[in-house]
Structures are given as C-alpha cells and as structure tokens.
Amino acid sequence: MTEGGVTQALYDKIVRREAQVAVIGLGYVGLPLAVAFAQEGLRVTGIEVDEAKVASVMRGESYIGDVSPQDVAALVAEGKLSATTDYAALAQADAIIICVPTPLSKTRDPDISYIIAAADGIARHFHPGQLIVLESTTYPGTTEEIILPRIAGNGYRVGEDFSLAFSPERIDPGNRRFNVRNTPKVIGGLTPRCLEVAKALYGLIIEQLVPVSNPRTAEMVKLLENTFRAVNIGLINEVALMCARLGIDVWEVIAAATTKPYGFMPFYPGPGLGGHCIPLDPYYLSWKMRTLNYNARFIELAGEINANMPHHVVNMVGDALNAQRKAVRGSRLLILGVAYKANVADVRESPAIDILKLLHDKGALTYYHDPYIPRLDLGAFTLSSSDLSDSLLTAMDCVVIVTAHASYDWERIVRQAALVIDTRNATGALKEGYPHIVKL
C-alpha cells in the first residue's frame, strides 16, 4: 500500500489492532461479526435501533443462536464490546460495517431504507480516514449509488480521504461447520487502496479473503450464490411435482442421481423457501434488470414454482384426508416444525406460516409443535407450540412434517399418527414401511 495519508494511517492502525470498529445492525450478521472483532482485541460498538437488543448485549446476553452468551458477557466485561442506539458513537469509529436488513416490499421491489438511514447516519458523524463497508445484500450498484455520494458529496475523496467497500455476508444460521472465521470472505473495494484497507480489517478475523475488482462485482457474487440455490430448488420442486404425477419417488431419483461423480449436484424439494436470503435476494437482481429493460426469466419462474409449494402441500393434505373420507374443514392438523430450516429458532419467510394460514382458512383446526418456536404470530391469529405427547399425536387427523428438526423421534411420531404428510423425506430412513405416510 502506498505510504502516507489517512488511509495509510488507518491501515497501520488496523494492523496494530488499535482500530475501533462500529457495526450498524446487531442481527444474525452483525452480532457474530462484532463478537469476532472484539475477540481479536479491537474495541467494537454496535449501533442498533432495537433497544431490547442493545439492552441484551449490555447485560452480556446473546439472542443469536450461533453466538455464545458467555463470549458476549466476557467481551462486555472487558470493555471490548458495547451497544447503543445513538449514531453519534460513529464519530469515534475507524471502521464502520453496515449489516442492516434489506427486505422486499409487497410488490417485490427492494426496500433499501435501512441502508439509506445507515448511510445518512454515517455522513452526519463522518471523519476523514474512516473505512465504510456495506455487507447487506442488495442490487449491484448500491454501494456506489447510495453510500458513496453521501460521503463524497461533502468533498471527500474515496481512496484518499476515506475507504469504501462491499463485502457480502455469508452467514448460515445453525451451521456447525462453517462460521464467520472459516467461511471465505468476498471483498470489493472502490479503489485498490480501499480494497487493501478492507482486507487488512477482515484479515484479522477471517481465514481466507477473496478480493474482486469492485463493489458491483461483490454485490453480484452474493446475488449469484442465492439465485443459484433458488433456481435449482425451483427445478427440483418442479421435478417433484412431475414425479408425483408419474408415480415415481422423487427422493429415490435424487439419491440415485447423486451417485454420478461429476456434472450433478443434489438439491432437495420441500414445502417452500424460507429464511433471510434465498426467498428474497434473487428478486433484487430481477428488479435491477427490469430497470434495464431485461426480464430475468429463470428467477421469475423459479420464484413462481417455489411460492406455490405451500399450496401444493395443502392440496396434498386435502387429497390424503379425502382418501380417508374426511374433509379439511373440521379436521385436526398438526404441523411439525415451523422454523424456516432445521435446528434454528427463526421463522422468517417460513413456508409453515403460509401452510398454517391456508389450512386455517379452509376451516381446519390447526396446531403446531416446534422446540425452537414457543409462540407463532400469524396475524389474524396466534398459536402456541403444543406438547408433543402421544395423546396429541393420536388425536390428530393428520400430521404434516414441514421442518425436520433433529430432536424429533420419527419412529414414535409415525407409529402414533393416523396420517403423515412428509415434505422433507424425514421418514425415509425408517426401516419399516408405513402405508399412512404420504411423501412430497
């Protein structure tokens, strides 16, 4: 890196582990990141609009399953980690990392209001020499179009007076193998100097850095990753629908195809997409392309197929009950697992929500059990997790497996239930055949 200037001073400060870091947004991305930097000896301040989260951190507690409360408590006690709702704390920061939500509107247009609010807060408390990194998933061009003008508009030169980069988050909640430190980190700096400063910062906590030519490329990397998954899940969901009509077990097909040692990667069908990324991120790219008069057909088609899967599951329930001369209306239906994926306490975009609402609208008596979600607000009504007793299972007309948590005893569940709809092949390993199981 070229000697001299405030960017060099910040680079040296980072290398000496003397830089102060601010993380805007202490959710599933921001809190693990803040903890990792604090564990390397840096002083880290979290900026969070949710007062409950701020209070939790300051009490030394963790509300994120992948972050140890013992780690939070120790770092707060050492003065390495703190949290506040006040953006004025940014004035003391050398590096600022933006980890705010980027939801979609009802029309599936990007809602970047949280990014704009963060950028405005940074601009109010900016001082020369700061590094600013956006991690929130967004459309290509956001870093240059939203963050850059708010700082450079005051006469500051990027790469000289401040550094700017985009580095997409790669957090997989509940993943015990990959975490903040051992997941390769893509970084795109607006200038070569910006990249070097950002690499110095992330290099303190991450084993492998993946530099790319600019922020726009890094933004596209994230969208490709999740669009790849969404499109392939859409494909395998359609294959599952085709197999059902052909009288073929889609799970057997996938297992056999997976034995091919090249040219095939297994994806698995399910009741619909859930989580913070895959159901949403492809639409950022689709929206951006519409502004350029281009129709992202794969994205739109995959989205349509995936969005229809909860309706397909409800139809499966109706058909299976009908075969037993029962109607959905008045039947007692138990949903097993409402989190969007196994072994996490997160219901964002969970297909279980749509399934419960659809069944409720059809007049079913709906119940659910989830060891991670004690209460579920469904808007028009609220449910609490039922005790998964033998008496509950035998009282149900149908049990629908939506999320296959590791704690479930499938043998016991299947033996007690009169009818099982298995959308995850959770019962596939059972040695004994059960004719009352209907698989996706």
How buried is 162 (Cβ within 10 angstroms: 0-12 exposed, 13-18 middle, 19+ buried)? buried
| 194, 169 contact by CB (below 8 A) | no
| 172, 229 contact by CB (below 8 A) | no
β-pair type (437-439, 420-422): parallel
Place of tokens 């395998």: 236
How far is CA 77 from each of CA 26, 27, 309, rounded to the nearest angstrom? 18, 21, 48
Q: 272 phi and psi, to 5 degrees?
A: 140, 170
Q: 186 phi and psi, to 5 degrees?
A: -80, 135
Give every CB contact of residue 216 below 8 A, 6+ residues apart in sequence.
140, 141, 143, 144, 166, 188
Please give the Cα distance from 102 to 118 (Å, whole number).
12
Please indicate whether residue 194 is annotated as part of the active site. Answer: no
| 58, 85 contact by CB (below 8 A) | no
Show the CA angle centred on residue 117, arms to residues 115 and 120, nearest 5°: 110
Q: Amino acid identity of 127?
A: H
Beta strands in 249-325 (DSSP E): none
| Nearest residue to 201 (alpha-carbon basis) of 236, 164, 176 | 164
DSSP 8-state secondary structure symbol assigned to residue 89: G
β-pair type (163-166, 185-189): antiparallel
| 121, 151 contact by CB (below 8 A) | no
Q: Which of 99, 243, 277, 398 is catalytic?
A: 277
Please give the Cα distance from 311 to 418 (Å, whole number).
22
Please give the Cα distance from 148 to 143 (Å, whole number).
6
The catalytic residues are 277
